[in-house]
Amino acid sequence: MRAKRAIKKEKNNILKNIITVIILGAIIVWILSIAPNYKKTGLEDKLNLVINSSNVTKSLKNDIWIDENNTIYISQDDVKNFFDNNIYYDEQYNQIITTSDKKVAVIGIGKTDIQVNSGNDKIYAPIIEKDGKYYLPFSELDDVYNTKTSYIKEGNTIVIESLDRELNGANARKNVNVKVLDTIFSYTVDKINKGDNVYILEKQDKWTKVRTAKGKIGYIKTSNLVNEYNIREAITEEKQIQGKVSLVWDYYSEYVSAPNREGTSIEGVNVVSPSFYTIEKLGKGEMETNVGDEGKAYIEWAHNNGYKVWPIVSNNSMIDTTSEIMKDYKLREKLINNIVDNAVADGVDGINIDFENMYAEDKDLFTRFLIELAPRLREVGMVLSVDVTAPDGSDTWSKCFDRYNIGQVVDYIIFMAYDQYGASSPQEGTTAGADWVEANVKKFLGQEGVEAEKLVLGMPFYTRLWKEENGEITSNVLAMNEVNEYIPESANKEWNEELKQYYVEYIQDGVTYKIWIEDEESIKAKFDIMNRYQLAGAAYWEKDRETDTLWSIIKQELEK
């Protein structure tokens, strides 16, 4: 009996030991699982940089530092990473050009002169070169970037706030620890007392991400916040065009005056683009204007009908003049000042840049021109649209456009989806077949990386009459409203399902004529593409080439 009790007691002890080992193991596993939550960030002894709701110190490419005059310096690389992806060192004039939403700032290296939107000013600290890198006196540039930069000595933290972002605050309900993660089992980054203010960065049901007065970022339980209040409202700007853009180019040459549209209206259109401005040949940034009294009357007519006016700025395909301007910041600046000054004086609503025939080697400089133009126009409430060609063409027609970066900068890219087969083509063909248009829209949205909400589809109100005689091919442009005058009654129109347009071919006096017809049906097919890919709208080249019924059809298509 005694032996049985001993055996039973031994078994119980073994069972207790097993249970104890399991419990201890579970405790160890739990401790190990939360241990990383208590690991310090490694930033405690460093000068930290907080931008809005994030501590970005670990993402810095170079050290930030503060000089003896309390000027906060950030490297050009880090400004590029966090504030201005297009910041640019201009070797020709030894200066940094940096842009924000509405500002263009130019600062000479080692100088305290600053030019903001072409206005001269002073800063108290220069750009400094250190170890082969440029450092900007960021605390001197708050007006440029629309920021508030502060150094919080107690937390050894620089805080940069974007003043266009919403900011809310609250008070601590009691003394509380601010945790690095949204769990009580994590490292304490700061301690706040009852009634202390905190900035709310992200509010959730159980935990709220906050920034403390020391600049520390962490989490406290949402139930420990009281008296929430608004410090700053978000600044949002309403788009000038609500819904789809519907733009018609109203072209006229520099040798005639703006058309008289008084007493007329254009159904389905919300933007008109007259030919007001042209760069001057070898004019080093000067611009010729063709507005006058007729143009002023045109603007008044447009506004009375509810249309926005985005005049064309054309380079008239002057490749060398364009190249000279693009390659020199001061010439770009002169042209930009001319564009903005004239646009403001004329009371228009935006600008349409139509630069064609440019050197492929000037591609990046043309983008720079737009980078420097866009903030100047936004400052005065104007829209910037840019006309570009289909990808994958010739150097001076297609490869001169960086469509992705242009799309990052401007309000709208207008794809001139026409002249699939143009005047210089060695064979006959359509001006804008639906299959070709759609394939290139896919390229814009795919390989070129342009956002659909910025891409406007340009449509032709013309086609070509092709002539084939003795093996020689020539063509001339036919406006949409005159095509039927060139088609004999005996000729048959054949619908091409792939191109989504009618084709006609006939022989007269031994000459073969071919026309791929642009009409209401082909335009409807292009609107189908616009709607299918949810593009920003449509544009039409050009006014007065359309048929009488086309505008009502356009209105119907836009309302789909």
216 with 262, same domain: the answer is no
Residue 560 pLDDT level (bands cut at 50, 70, 90): confident
Amino acid at 528: D
pLDDT the model gives residue 41: 62
C-alpha 155/C-alpha 47 separation (Å) is 9
CA pseudo-torsion sign 358, 360, 362, 368: positive
Residues 33-52 have pLDDT tens digits of: 555 555 666 667 899 999 99
C-alpha 424/C-alpha 410 separation (Å) is 31
pLDDT the model gives residue 44: 78
Q: Is residue 425 part of a domain?
A: no
Residues 372-419 have pLDDT tens digits of: 999 999 999 999 999 999 998 899 999 999 999 999 999 999 999 999
Asked whether residue 21 carries a pLDDT value surpassing 70, the answer given is no
C-alpha 253/C-alpha 175 separation (Å) is 74
Q: Is residue 304 part of a domain?
A: yes
173 with 139, same domain: the answer is no
55 with 137, same domain: the answer is yes
CATH number of the CATH domain containing 228: 2.30.30.40
Query: Mean pLDDT over residues 278-294, rounded?
Result: 97
pLDDT the model gives residue 31: 47
Query: Mean pLDDT over residues 115-142, rounded?
Result: 97
Asked whether residue 30 carries a pLDDT value surpassing 50, the answer given is no
Q: What is the mean pLDDT of the chain?
A: 94
331 with 214, same domain: the answer is no
Asked whether residue 500 carries a pLDDT value surpassing 80, the answer given is yes
Query: Mean pLDDT over residues 487-515, rounded?
Result: 97
Range of the domain at 220: 166-232
How much of the chain exceeds pLDDT 70, in percent? 92
CATH number of the CATH domain containing 328: 3.20.20.80
Q: Is residue 428 part of a domain?
A: no
Residues 457-487 have pLDDT tens digits of: 999 999 999 999 998 999 999 999 999 999 9
Nearest Cα to 273, choosing from 238, 302, 239, 316?
302
Q: What string of DSSP letters covers 218-269?
A: EEEEGGGEEEEEEEE-------SS-S-EEEEEE---TTSPPP--TT---TT-
Q: How far is CA 11 from CA 5, 15, 19, 356, in A?
A: 10, 6, 12, 93
Residue 306 pLDDT level (bands cut at 50, 70, 90): very high
Structural domain count of the chain: 3
pLDDT the model gives residue 365: 98
Query: Mean pLDDT over residues 331-349, rounded?
Result: 98
Residues 182-220 have pLDDT tens digits of: 999 899 999 999 999 999 999 989 999 999 999 999 999
Q: Is residue 195 within 8 Å of residue 172, measured between CB atoms?
A: yes
Residue 254 pLDDT level (bands cut at 50, 70, 90): confident
Identify the DSSP state of 525.
Answer: H
State the pTM of this model.
0.93
188 with 117, same domain: the answer is no
C-alpha 162/C-alpha 148 separation (Å) is 7
pLDDT the model gives residue 10: 67
